[in-house]
Amino acid sequence: MKESIDWSKFFLVLILTVAVFVIGVFFGNYITEIKYDTIFNTEQSLRLELLGLDTQYSLIESDPCKVFNDTSLSESLDEMGNKVTYLENTLGTSSEEVINLKKYYFLLEIRHYLLKQRAVKECDVQHDFILYFYSNKGYCKDCKQEGFVISNIRENFDNLSSYSFDIDAENPALDTLKSINDVGNVAPVVVVNGETYAGFKSKEFIENKLESSKN
């Protein structure tokens, strides 16, 4: 003998199932929208900050010695680098928006680097420089670790500026910088005060090169 179906329970379960599904879709879309808004706002904020920093460089070029007194320039550049990294991790390294923002950011890094180099010559200031060339491609297993090493060195050395560049970025100015410093096309590469070293370099190695360049 067949059991009778309790239609009231059936419809109750069906309604609850549909309700859970709808709520899940709603919150999923809501979270996605918040994430999109966050990315969009970060992107727009970065564009404005990049333009602002570019203008600051133009203003300070008439008196490059101020670049060492105004620490906000370096702090702004570091903050922008963090935002570029956030967008890169969120949107992916192949995102056209990320690639274009990185190109502009690299140009500002180069401009900042040249401005500080000029200040060293004209203002009789002792300063060290590290140029770090990385790659997001799979072959560069040591790039992330090298980045950590350089970040750690920056915290322990005064009067040190470091700049990071994607070695695969298509940028005429970056190509020229690579050519001047004899940087190939395989990362990681570290340039310490004008001396180029290919392959992963330890914290001790880089620190020794910084110290020896002062003698």
Q: What is the pLDDT of residues 86-111, one digit of tens each?
A: 778 888 888 888 888 888 888 888 98
Which of the four pLDDT bands, split at 50, 70 and 90, describes residue 149? very high
Report the chain's terminal Cα–Cα distance, integer Å: 99
**Residue-level pLDDT at 30:** 42
**Residue-level pLDDT at 189:** 96
Domain ranges of the chain: 34-125, 126-215
Point out the least confidently predicted range of 79-83, 115-119, 195-199: 79-83
Q: Give the list of residues 6+ apart from residue 181 with CB closer than 8 angstroms, or none.
A: 131, 191, 194, 196
- Assign domain 126-215 to a CATH class: alpha beta
Q: What is the pLDDT of residues 35-88, one digit of tens each?
A: 445 555 556 665 656 666 666 666 677 777 777 766 667 777 787 787 788 778
Q: Is the pTM of this model over 0.75?
A: no
Q: What is the pLDDT of residues 175-192, one digit of tens each?
A: 999 999 999 889 999 999
**Residue-level pLDDT at 14:** 67
Per-residue DSSP letters for the chain? -PPPP-HHHHHHHHHHHHHHHHHHHHHHHHHHHHHHHHHHHHHHHHHHHHHHHHHHHHHHTTSTTHHHH-HHHHHHHHHHHHHHHHHHHHH-TT-HHHHHHHHHHHHHHHHHHHHHHHHHHHHT---EEEEEEE--STT-TTHHHHHHHHHHHHHH-SSEEEEEEETT---HHHHHHHHHTT--SSS-EEEETTEEEES---HHHHHHHHHHTT-
**Residue-level pLDDT at 33:** 47
